[in-house]
Structure 1
Amino acid sequence: MTLAVEGGPTQTFKPHLEYHAVSDQEQDGTDTLLMHRYPTSENFTLDGVPYALVLAGVPAGQGKPLADAVHVPEGRTVSVELKAILVRTDRLDVVIRDVRFKGQVAGSQADEYIEVVNRSAVMAPVDGSVVNAGQIGQDFTFPIGSGTAALAPGIPTRIYTNEIHPEWGGHSFATKSGIWNDKGDTGEVRNAQGTVLARYSYGTHAN
């Protein structure tokens, strides 16, 4: 894969993919293209910041996370769109990518969420880290010692208002009423020591 920046550098990356083929004698067999979600060894420097590239996956449908595999029925040709993300190799970089502040569930707004992503080239430990939805007490804390308390490079995690979605990490504020102000709010991620790792504001009422 070649990345070219207009007026800037060009870099060729060699991400890792595996192709698993079944025997051609198995007429109903399915081949699989599997992508490895870890950073490339090649670096790319932009404005003095070093990056690597991570394959994030392929689109899997509306509202679904990117898939890490493509299944190809025997005897067919399939074209796929690969999504990738540049990740920093010099330091941890955890960001809030989005806040869905208008849910579709009437009253409870249970399907609202905040989406957090690790844009660094290493696992980002978040044991004990707190996601705050703008007000005192509107907190979600990543459990200490949990297998889900580390964010993989480039793979988004969502914390829903009051729903559990394992495909997005399985996290919830577990509150029965909406917590994101439709007119504006500010979300934060703080580590266990209270240092702000990420902040995201939207709307005219952002605090």
Structure 2
Amino acid sequence: MATVVTTGTWVLPKVNASQFTVNNEHITWGAVADSVKSGYVFQGGPVPVRVDGTEFVLGTFTHHNFPIPPLPQDQFDVRLAVNVAFEEGTEIDFVLRFHHNETPNQGPRPEDLVDLPVVHPQQEVVTVDGAAYNVLITGFWQNHKHVHQFVSPEGKSNSADIYALLTPVPVKPILHISRVEAIGNASTGQSDEFVEILNRGAEPANISGWTLSADDAGQDFTFPPGTALEPGRRIRVHTNEVRPEDGGHSFGIGRPIWNNEGDTARLRDTNGNAVSVFAYGDHDPTASGK
């Protein structure tokens, strides 16, 4: 199996640079002993590459949040330059910008906030085992969820993996239902249930007029005009919530849609052709006992 080697280099913020220290994959800050400074860490290294359209980890970002004296400026941006080196000699460089909010250590909300950057897809071509692939950086994942922000408790650490995938060249848009979250928050009528759709191809996909549906009648969602999904990007359609960070799509149905025991999600194009089908639970024919 082919591998890549990822390395990361932190760049000092433009403000209060004297408060910060960069040491290899670490950047730390705070007028305290080095062992208890707050900071960020990027851990890369040799990474096995997947060529079957499955995402793989490029590296891990960690926020160490320790109590420190107040900084002259409590909000700042920190940049991380990441290099991804493939065995055949191709290197890809991209820059991530993290926005940090160093909140007071005391009070009702002492947790620090870190806005994780949105990574723009890389349209680089690499060769793996003699075949050409596009490299797509797909974003940060934590506990099997795509995340955009950390809420880091004082005295603890918070980590997320940054993922990528390879798609053969040339490849048309490949729309794939990657996840169905059937168990939502019961107190909200499970309005936060969702279906996630991923573009695994190397070209943007115009899905205006496409439909997403569950098994029961009256549970259909049609994507509005102008809906496009870039390579390596994903959107979610919630049951009865509008979340701009996930694309802003909702069935607008005030009751649960997805059966906790099992159901089938279907994505159809404008001609009614089934582009992707996702069956889970007792609807999954590959499940144990089927």
Query: Could you tell me the TM-score, scaled by structure 2's length?
Result: 0.53
Instruction: Quote the Cα distance in structure 2 between the aligned partners of 1:56 and 1:162.
Output: 26
Deviation at 1:125, TM superposition (A): 0.9
Instruction: Quote the Cα distance in structure 2 between the aligned partners of 1:50 and 1:93.
Output: 17
Give the aligned partner of residue 175 of structure 1. 253
Give the aligned partner of residue 22 of structure 1. 14
**Quick check: 1:131–1:190 contact (8 Å CA) kept in 2?**
yes
Give the aligned partner of residue 56 of structure 1. 138
Deviations 1:32-74 (A, max 9, x none): 334452234223457x975322112234x6697444x99xxxx
Unaligned runs of 5+ residues in structure 2 are: 20-71, 81-94, 97-118, 151-158, 286-290
User: Kindly tell me: are residues 101 and 128 of structure 1, through their superposed partners in 2, closer, same or farther at Cα, counting changes over 3 Å?
Assistant: same
Deviation at 1:205, TM superposition (A): 3.6
Instruction: Quote the Cα distance in structure 1 between the aligned partners of 2:232 and 2:220.
Output: 24
**% identity of equivalent residues:** 31
Q: Report the AA paired with residue 135 of structure 2.
A: L
Give the aligned partner of residue 201 of structure 2. 120
Deviation at 1:139, TM superposition (A): 0.7
Q: Report the AA paired with residue 42 of structure 1.
A: V
From 79, 87, 90, the equivalent of 1:32 is 79
Query: Could you tell me the TM-score, scaled by structure 1's length?
Result: 0.72
Give the aligned partner of residue 83 of structure 1. 163
User: Kindly tell me: are residues 104 and 44 of structure 1, through their superposed partners in 2, closer, same or farther at Cα, counting changes over 3 Å?
Assistant: farther
1:41 and 2:124 equivalent? yes
Deviation at 1:161, TM superposition (A): 0.6
Deviation at 1:104, TM superposition (A): 1.7
Question: Any idea what SS the aligned residue of 2:183 has?
Answer: coil
1:93 and 2:174 equivalent? yes
Instruction: Quote the Cα distance in structure 1 between the aligned partners of 2:126 and 2:253.
Output: 43
Deviations 1:125-166 (A, max 9, x none): 101110111223211111013xxx111222221101111111
Deviation at 1:25, TM superposition (A): 7.2
Deviation at 1:174, TM superposition (A): 0.6
From 125, 133, 136, the equivalent of 2:217 is 136
Deviation at 1:19, TM superposition (A): 6.2
Give the aligned partner of residue 116 of structure 2. none
Deviation at 1:108, TM superposition (A): 2.4
Instruction: Quote the Cα distance in structure 1 between the aligned partners of 2:131 and 2:279.
Output: 25
From 276, 279, 286, the equivalent of 1:198 is 276
Larger radius of gyration: 2
Structure number with higher strand proportion: 2
Deviations 1:165-186 (A, max 9, x none): 1111111111111111122111
**Quick check: 2:173–2:231 contact (8 Å CA) kept in 1?**
no
Question: Any idea what SS the aligned residue of 1:43 has?
Answer: strand
User: Kindly tell me: are residues 140 and 182 of structure 1, through their superposed partners in 2, closer, same or farther at Cα, counting changes over 3 Å?
Assistant: same
Q: Report the AA paired with residue 31 of structure 1.
A: V
Unaligned runs of 5+ residues in structure 1 are: 71-78
Deviation at 1:206, TM superposition (A): 5.1
Instruction: Quote the Cα distance in structure 2 between the aligned partners of 1:20 and 1:150.
Output: 36
Deviation at 1:85, TM superposition (A): 2.1
Give the aligned partner of residue 155 of structure 1. 233
Instruction: Quote the Cα distance in structure 2 between the aligned partners of 1:190 and 1:19.
Output: 45
More deviation, 22-31/90-99: 22-31
**Quick check: 1:159–1:171 contact (8 Å CA) kept in 2?**
yes
**Higher RCO, 1 vs 2 (CA within 8 Å, ≥6 residues apart):** 1
